[in-house]
Structure 1
């Protein structure tokens, strides 16, 4: 019976991790490694005696985008070349020993810290160590075989990744945008409800939700960046990546909306819980403020929707609500009530509408 809860946790975890993209990537990586191993004995000279480096080259060059495959493959070969060159300098002076092993590893790590090397930095000390320890008296032949087999493996990995269903990571964009859009809308709605509660509001989770908004915004940025990267050097990008400019524009819109929602959150949190901040909100303004927040949430909900007419209706309602809020703020100011916070929120809500209008 004790295994049942573990199975219930394991199955959803496997379903989440073993996706269609992951399975395809695994098959392509296996194919590239197998192809490299098949070709390895055909390499000229002493390289044929070291076939195991060919699948390793294929493995290091397989990444989730074609551009990453090319970059990491070339960087690994650069690291190998630098490490081998450093190892030759050391082996010309001494053989394998405690001192020489420590020396090549230390120098390799030091050189790997140079800027713009990328994944090459990991290969410099590794290649130097292999040449020093495994090359022995045949360091030159071993180095030649090492580089040649790795290069052939990298070529196999890149070729497989480029020719067989080169990945386009476009599917993750819509869920990421929808998730952040929903988070922004919920934040505005929660603040609208808080304005209707007894003061100070009982529900205050919205006031500390900036980290959640930052996480969902980061998920959108990551999805769009990964999709943009996947179109580079990808033969499928001409047919399927025409939507990417719109997604980049959507990301910019979301970032602007996030700024205004977070600014509204900070202002209202200050007005509620910071007694001496001078940001109190007059009671006569609260109902109008709640309605304006709710109407703005509806606008965010219907942005990127399938019905442009529905968005236009929500925009019109939000404009009316914000105008009513402005009138209430003006009346409160005429009565010498503090209105700085309410006026600031009204400005942020107007800018939210402006951002959505400019994105249409």
Structure 2
């Protein structure tokens, strides 16, 4: 797709701005409230595990450092993930011990035995649905073979006991102290995507009122950006759903995640419609041989319809959408009326009709979800 020379000259500047924004966004995520809470709880859990580790009976007291390790591998942003990852780690640990004991029954620790334990551990770790256990099988087997040596039995029992204690402490801390519910992220993610889609429609409406090719062509290159922000909405909904599982705070903070899933499907359909409009109008403006055209006498009406649809998308979830929906329907009716005059002169309206259909679907999607 061709772009204006001005856009080409501005690309290096945009790249620097994008790099800066990406770096700042990464720093904000690293210092976010959720991340700070997770860091604090992880520090508390590992500290408690270090205190409890030396109190274990028998040989286990000689390996207290495995308790903080167990707490560390259990700390995840959600209670459900903590339970799942902790149990998977213990499963991998048990399988790794089994692999090491099987090899140690025939030979002592040497290059051949180390290779055999690690190789078998990697194979066992490749079994279906292993999750975090897949990494623990070869690592645990290696530790038991090399560190345990002739006392592999005692070391294995101590290793497993300390890890169980650490996992239990880590899960207890995550479950009892501010177990996170990632509900607020849903609203902000939906808002970002709605405003991104509305902004895209407004930019295309502005392009309809400019001489073609327009000077600003950024809107024609936002497919990946729109897809990425739509993906962020899906991630936010999934993360909230996972955070609600086994969470004792769930009852005090009710939220209908089923409705969020419906909104997610709606926002993905909206994104598809806006991307389709973008492809059609970009083809009209920059691809002379594509056979897609917008009659000059319809550009003003098309721009008004795009702007009205943008108002509908922007108002969804924030303001009363009935007024913007009525205005959008009126704008689309005016656009449809203009089709008759143009068709009577045998002019092509294929691109305009395609965009109008996508706009009608956009308005209908918002109307359906707003009426819940």
Shorter chain as denominator, the TM-score bin is over 0.9
Task: Name which of structure 1's ranges 14-23 and 70-79 shifts more when overlaid on structure 2.
Answer: 14-23
TM-score normalised to structure 1 length: 0.93
Structure 1 residue 92 corresponds to structure 2 residue 105: yes
Superposed counterparts of 1:50-199, under 5 Å: 50-199=63-212
Extract unaligned runs of 5+ from structure 1: 1-9
Q: Tell me by how many angstroms 1:178 deviates.
A: 1.3
1:13–1:338 CA distance, 2 compared to 1 (3 A): closer
Question: Aligned residue for 1:7?
Answer: none
Distance 1:15 1:64 in 2: 17
1:325 correspondence with 2:335? yes
Q: Deviations over 1:28-49 (max 9, x none)?
A: 1122112222222332332222
Q: How far has the Cα of 1:176 moved from its partner?
A: 1.5
Per the TM alignment, residue 11 of structure 1 is displaced from its structure 2 partner at its CA by 9.8
Trace 1:316-355 onto structure 2 (pairs within 5 A). Answer: 316-355=326-365
Larger CA deviation: 124-133 vs 167-176: 167-176
2: CA distance between counterparts of 1:202 and 1:12? 29
1:107-143 superposed Cα distances (whole Å, 9 cap, x missing partner):
2122222221001011011000000000011101100
Candidates 35, 44, 58, aligned match of 1:22: 35
Do 1:231 and 1:241's aligned partners in 2 also have CA atoms closer than 8 Å? no
1:12, distance to aligned residue in structure 2 (A): 9.3
Deviation at 1:250, TM superposition (A): 2.2
Following superposition, the deviation at residue 15 of structure 1 comes to 5.7
Q: CA deviation at 1:190?
A: 0.6
**Which contiguous aligned blocks of 4+ residues in structure 1 show a shift greater than 6 angstroms?**
10-13
Check 1:355–1:12 CA distance in 2 against 1; reply closer, same or farther (3 A cut).
closer
Give the corresponding residue for 1:229: 242
Name the structure 1 match of 2:232.
Answer: 219
Shift of 1:76: 0.2
> Could you report, residue by residue, the CA deviation over 1:204-240 in whole angstroms, capped at 9, with x for unpaired residues?
1111110110111111111111111100000101221
What is the Cα-based RMSD across aligned positions, in Å? 1.8
Partners of 2:211 and 2:190 in 1: CA distance: 34
